[in-house]
Amino acid sequence: MLSKWTILAISISLTLGGCHNTSRHDMDLLTSSPWKYEKAGFNTETEDEDAASFNALDPRIIGFEKDYAIVFRTDGTGALKETHTRNKHHNPDSLPFFWSFQNNDSVLYFQDQYYKVQTLTNDRLIIYADQRLGSDHSRYTIILGH
């Protein structure tokens, strides 16, 4: 039986192994500074390229926009980080995660989900995942900024 440390080491090596085709430019854009949620939600019109057009906003991120940032690190790890410290003690990162670019940086594995990268610039990251339930199609889009 494998120990939890062995499983963690294998997970890290697999995650980092997926980054070998990652461009340095995209890695720098993603990891240069923390990202903040601008909005996230569902759009049933997947052909609509307007990422700001949502049928329903995701209520899980309401409140996170001001108090938390997403940190992507160059080693393939990341965390949700509190931006406003409520006390004088250092607050450790919460909700750690692994991330990686896939398919020549066109896909981002993040929060246990594969997202297609629509936009990655100095100040904007837009990712989405298309979902199908029977004959219904929807697109879940996350818009992040600095």
pLDDT in tens, 120-133: 999 999 999 998 87
The parent domain of residue 28 ranges over 4-145
Predicted pLDDT at 49: 52
- The count of structural domains within the chain is 1
Q: Sign (positive/negative) of CA torsion 28, 31, 33, 34?
A: positive
Report the predicted TM-score, pTM, of the whole model to 2 decimal places: 0.74
Predicted pLDDT at 138: 85
Closest CA to 26 of 127, 131, 97: 127
d(CA 30, CA 120): 8
Which CATH number do you get for residue 38? 2.40.128
Q: Under a CB-based contact definition with an 8 Å cutoff, are residues 97 and 120 in contact?
A: no
Predicted pLDDT at 58: 78
d(CA 35, CA 68): 9
Closest CA to 102 of 112, 114, 113, 111: 114
Q: Tens of pLDDT along the chain (146 residues)?
A: 444 443 444 444 444 444 445 689 999 999 999 999 888 888 766 554 555 577 777 777 766 666 788 999 999 999 988 876 555 555 566 788 999 999 999 999 988 899 999 999 999 999 999 988 778 888 899 999 98
The SS3 assignment for 18 reads coil
